[in-house]
Structure formats: C-alpha cells, structure tokens
Amino acid sequence: MRETAQTGDGVMSELPAFLSRGGEIARIIAAHRWDTTPVGAIETWPPCLCSMISFMLSSNLPITLLWGEDGVMFYNAGYAEIAGRRHPSIMGSKVLEGWPEVASFNRHVLESGFRGESLAFEDQHLVLMRNGVAEDVWLDLDYSPVFDEAGKPAGVLAIVHETTRRHFAEAEAEQNRERLSHALNAAGVIGIWDWHLETGNMFTDERFAEFYSVNAERARHGVPRSEFMAAIHPADRDDVEAHVEAAVADGVDIALEHRLLHADGSIRWVMVRGTGFRDASGRVVRVSGAAVDVTDRRVSDEKRRLLVRELHHRIKNTFAIIGGMVTMTARSVHSVDEMANVLRGRLVALAAAHQLIRPAITAELDEVEQTTFVDLFQAILAPHLVRSDQLVIEAPEIEVGVVAATSLALVLHELATNSTKYGSLSVADGTLTIRGRQAGTSLRLDWIEAGGPPISGPPPHQGFGSRLASMSIAGQLGGEIEFHWQESGLHVVMLIPMERVIR
C-alpha cells in the first residue's frame, strides 16, 4: 500500500509502505531529495533502514536515526520538537553539520556506535543553537547501534528525552530550599516536619533529622516517628507522648518544649509547634510543623531564676546583718550621736563591699567579674589611711565570693576602726601589713600592725568590734580568728575554709 505525498517540486507521489503511518514527518521524508545524500534514493534503501524508520515514526518517544558513517539524520515528530527551528532543515543532513555546536560530542557517538557500542547519558548538559541563540539544554540520551542484514553496524539509533524543564524545576526547588533554610536558620528554626498518622511515618528536612540524630536521606522519604522520639530525653518522653496524643485527639495544635539527649551526652532544648490537617470526615490525618532550638533562652531563663533567688537570699542576709549591728551597737554606745557615727561607718563598709560584689549578684552568672582580696582590702581600708604607703598587701590573687566579701568587709572595717582609734593607723608613722596564703584547705590571713602606740596586753573586756569580727569569721564563714596583743602592735590571724572563700 502506498500513500500520496507532494514532493519538493510540487509533484504528487505515493508514500512507500514503511512511511504510511508517519504523518507530516513521513511526508517530509518522502519529499526529501535523498539521492543527493550518501543514503541514496528511497528506492535503494535496504530493508533494515526502512524497518528502523517505520519503527521510529510509530514511536511516541523522541527518536533520531543517524545512518551511515556520516550520520545522516532521520527523526520523528517527538525529536522535531526538540530540534526547534532547525526542523525541518536538518532532516537528511549529516549530524556533524546539522548540530555543529556539539559536533565533537556527536562524533564520539558515531564512532562508538560503529564499534558496536551503546552509550547512555543522564541529564547531559549541552549548549544548542536550535532557536538561533545559545541555549542551555539538558537531555537523557540512549544510543544503540543498528546492524544491517550482514550483522555489521550501519547506523546509530538515539532515544532523546529532554529534561531541561525538570532540571530548572529542580534547580529552582533547590534554591527555594536554600532560601527556606537560610530563613529558618535566621529565625532560629531547626527544621520542619510532616507526620502522617495512618502510617506513623514522619517526613522531615535535613536539619530537623540531623538534630534528632536520624539519617537525613531516610527522613526525607519517611521514617517511623519512634526514631525521633528516641532522641528525646528519657525524663521528658512520656510527657511529650501524652501531650501529642491529647492534642491529636482534641484536634488542637501541638505546642510543647522538651529536651533532646544527643549521643555525646549534650542536652538541647527544643520548642515544637504543629498544626493538624483533616480529611473529608474531619479526622486529623496529618500534623505538620517546625521545631526551634530554645536552649539559649532556657539557659538564660534558668540564670534569671537563680539570680532572683540569689538576690532574695542576699537581701535577707543584709537585713539580718544590719539588724544585728543595730542591736549590738545600741548595747555598746552611750549616746545617740555615737550610735549614729558607729553605724554610719559600718554601713559605709557594707556599701563598699556591696559595690565590689555587685557584678556577682546582678550580672549573668557566667559573665561575673569576681572580686579579689586585694580589691576588697583596698576598698575597705582606703578611708582609714593617712598615707597610701601605710598599707602593705601581700595576698594572692584569689577571688572572693559574695558571702565571704560581705562578712570580711565588716571584719576589716571593725579592725580598721580600732586601729584608727588605738593602733598603728592612729599615728602618721604607723603601718598595716596584710598577708594572705593558702594553708592546707584554708586561707590564712594575717593582720599585722606596727609603729603604733605600745600595747601592754589585751583590753580588759571584749568590745563590739571584736565580737562582730568573731561572729563574722566563725559564724558566717565557718573559720577561726585569733587576736595576739603584742607590744609592737595587734596581730590578728584568720583561717577561713577555701570552700567558704569563694561562696
């Protein structure tokens, strides 16, 4: 059977049988002057060529047939779409001339095919001029040799599938994922998740999976929710499960915070939010949401709670100290003016100590600027000195805690007040040396006065200052204090446990 077709010179002719089902492309093939090509006139074509063309024209896949060692081109309607504006002019052309911009690539294809080899390329990038301008194109290409009746390679059959749109869609999706990742990261979001209740599987992004110690590639395709639950701190796991079950049952959003226990023993706090999606019957079938790393906020909150408790404790202690000072001062003075002066000095010493330790009870706990003994001694004793060189401090740079600084401030003030009245600081040539060193598990402090009025022995009765000093060192700091009334001057020895020094 033959079909009528119009040739290039307008003459109507019948189509050969092998072209009868090729439509417009078959008519283009029939009308071409093949006698001017290496293939020769249609009447001379071998059966194997006619069979391959018939197969190619009947296929819905984009196919091109490169015949002979010159690779003369035949193709079907699917390939014509890929060829763009080069169709139909490349029909019957040599492939190296029809696609000169990829001649090197096609030469390799022809050489391989005529060696009887097949080739396959997935998402092959080529730059084509199919529409008059350079264009990035991605193709899946499968090349197979075609053999003649004698079993020798006679051509190459190429199945061509353009993946350009898919490539750009995937590239855009990847860009969107990167933008989303940057946005989530800027917002402190760990990642996003999607839980399918019917299967129990969770689908997550890479960041979420890694944070929960789940393989990211598996999580992208869905893994049992139990694998994510395994990363939750054991102490929180039951509460999380109960909260989630109740939220799903009641049809409300999931909103909770819990700890994650990582393999290295580190703990992170996460805030999880999720919203349910219902089917036509109103039943929740999916829950999707995100998780945020709130570890820093949790740590900060805990520090604030500790700070409030610490401030409350310190204020109570301060009022207790002041109350005790008022009571004991009232018992040891003879007039209101004297009581006012004594109390004022002691309160000033407390204020100086507080100014030194203020960062320790108001700053963030891990950013505390600790007070050293040298700082404390200089702050409390400076008002009692006539000359700066009267005071010699030989103490290590040991940090002193809040409790120890408060108690020592009162002791130093009382000792300095007595020295100003009766001891070495009452005369211009007097000196005061303070030495500090570690003695076993305690800190030893020596208060040594020299150059003051001679001392004949201890006073006939213990004054309030001495009692306050003993109460502070022994009662507040769990230490010991001894007074040595030497003729050259007062020598006080204080032993304070190191664990109390830093409190």
Residue 142 reports pLDDT greater than 70:
yes
Q: What percent helix, strand, coil does the chain show, rounded to 5?
A: 50, 25, 25
Q: Which tens digit of pLDDT belongs to each residue from 166-175?
A: 989 888 877 8
pLDDT digits (tens, 9 = 90+) for 337-391: 877 876 776 677 666 656 655 554 444 444 445 678 888 888 878 777 767 788 9
Q: Each residue of 48-75: b (16+ CB within 10 Å) or e? A: bbeebbbebbeeeebbbbbbbebbbbbb
Verify cis geometry, omega within 30 degrees of 0, for the bond prior to 88. Answer: yes
Catalogue all structural domains in the chain, each as residue range(s) with its CATH number: 3-165 (3.30.450.20), 178-293 (3.30.450.20), 299-501 (3.30.565.10)
Q: State the DSSP string of 255-311.
A: EEEEEEE-TTS-EEEEEEEEEEEE-TTS-EEEEEEEEEE-HHHHHHHHHHHHHHHHH
- The rounded percent of the chain whose pLDDT value lies above 90 is 51
pLDDT given at position 3:
47
Nearby residues of 297 by Cβ (< 8 Å), 6 or more positions away: 269
Say what the pLDDT of residue 322 is.
Answer: 65
Question: What pTM does this model have?
Answer: 0.45
Of 68-72, 101-105, 137-141, 376-380, which gets the smallest average pLDDT?
376-380
Element (H, E) at 3: strand 3-6
208-227 average pLDDT score: 92
Q: How far is CA 409 from the centre of its chain?
A: 46
**Nearby residues of 320 by Cβ (< 8 Å), 6 or more positions away:** none
pLDDT of residue 446: 95
- Over residues 9-18, the mean pLDDT reads 66
Alpha carbon 318 to chain centroid, angstroms: 43
Looking at residue 448, its pLDDT comes to 95
Q: What average pLDDT does this structure show over 123-136? A: 95
Report the relative pairing of strands 399-400 and 267-278 from DSSP bridges.
unpaired
pLDDT of residue 6: 47
Residue 35 has pLDDT above 70, yes or no: yes
